[in-house]
Amino acid sequence: MRTWGIAVLALISAGIVTAQKGGGNTSPSTSGSPGTPPTRSRTPFPNDGGAGQRPIFISGTVVLSDGLPLTERVKIERVCSGTPRTETYTDKKGHFSFQVGQSLEMPDASTSSAVTGGMGSTLGNQRDVAGMSGAMGGSPERQLWGCDLQAALPGFRSDVLSLNNVRYMDNPDLGTIVLHRLANVDGLTISVNSALAPKEAHKAYEKGMAAVTKHNAEEAQKNLEKAVELYPKYSEAWFNLGWVHEQGDRIDEARKAYEQAIAAEPKFVRPYERLSWLAVREAKWQELVDRTDQWLRLDPANSPDAYYLSSVGNLQNEHIDVAEKNAREAIRMDPAKKNMRARYVLGLALAQKQEFTVAAEALKIFLDASPDAKDAETVRKQLAQVEEAAAKTAAKQ
């Protein structure tokens, strides 16, 4: 690697590894400060709402645009500053409800310092810090400022509902979220094997998922374990068992469950996504590259997070051309600019190639969009380095 780039990548690696030591979970986030692991509860499915505050309840319905019935429960996410956080799951008919401040998942590195801040703090899709304003406390209404609500189901694009104007005592029903089916998916976004589960296994699975929505991790784990014992090919149950373990910070158990889901159904996309986030959390860069490669082979047309995480892993492994290519693809697939960390990764990749002028432009775009990111000062120093190098290069020409 060029001498110029060593200091930059050292800062990136240190920031990600430190953040990952703080703990972690999903999906795509914004920034944790280098050297300061995020504080988090060790209790699965915590209540992060403040005591004595007036609760805000939100409800609605998820439907498919083609009118077909849902075949599984759908994850409901609150997205703040580009960081998604799981709030609840729908029932089998698509209905959902939750209380703001009682998220199903804890704030962690994958939604903050590993995902959106990526290099220096968070890597992002999967994700400023701690994920969302909700993770940082404050009144329920404050937790909704600048936030949207969406449904999350691989292979589908979700309509988005703004939460900016939701207030205490408002009608909790926000209406309908429509999921639009995406094309060109070789992988399975909905498990086929799971539809073949025998009655008793399916019953145990439903009990497990009901326990998840009630924040009862112990009951969820017990029933999901029963489901996979009765039907070892129950990939959906294996996946959700992995998620329960991940939320309980039992990372080895989570990884084993996700791998069992893949063994049961190799084209089932969702386990590859979670395993990619676990690789980020533990700074296992080659594993991250391998997992995202598998993910992208199954679903290349609908996975901006996979391109983003792949760019991070390849940058860390000094595969600079691949890192640049995949960062650009992540940006192309993100017209709403929800993951500005991809611009940051692109800037660092271009700097490694000594394309300093365009690298500086990419870093400026990130800072303009995220001036208060916890690693903003680190990025500003990197930008100063890049601009100085650009000036020296111009002077020689």
What would the pLDDT profile of 314-323 be if each residue is shown by its tens digit? Answer: 999 999 999 9
Q: List the one residue out of 365, 379, 366, 326 whose CA is nearest residue 349.
A: 326
Residue recorded with tokens 């998916």:
185
DSSP 94: S
The residues of the chain scoring below 70 in pLDDT are 1-53, 81-83, 103-143, 183-191
How far apart CA 311 and CA 305 sit, in angstroms, is 10
Residue 19 is encoded by which pair of tokens? Answer: 């953040």
The SS3 assignment for 100 reads: coil
The SS3 assignment for 288 reads: helix
pLDDT value of residue 105? 62
Average pLDDT, the chain: 78
What is the CB-side half-sphere exposure of residue 92 using CA atoms within 13 A?
8
Residue 118 is encoded by which pair of tokens? Answer: 């990526």
Distance linking the first and last C-alpha atoms of the chain = 23
Residue 147 is encoded by which pair of tokens? Answer: 């936030």
What domains are there in the chain, each with its CATH number?
18-181 (no CATH), 190-268 (1.25.40.10)
What would the pLDDT profile of 8-44 be if each residue is shown by its tens digit? Answer: 444 344 333 333 333 333 333 333 322 222 333 334 4
Q: pTM higher than 0.75 for the full model?
A: no
What would the pLDDT profile of 299-309 be if each residue is shown by its tens digit? Answer: 888 788 999 99
pLDDT value of residue 279? 96
Residue recorded with tokens 């609908």:
302
pLDDT value of residue 36? 27
pLDDT value of residue 138? 52
Cα-to-chain-centroid distance, residue 209: 20
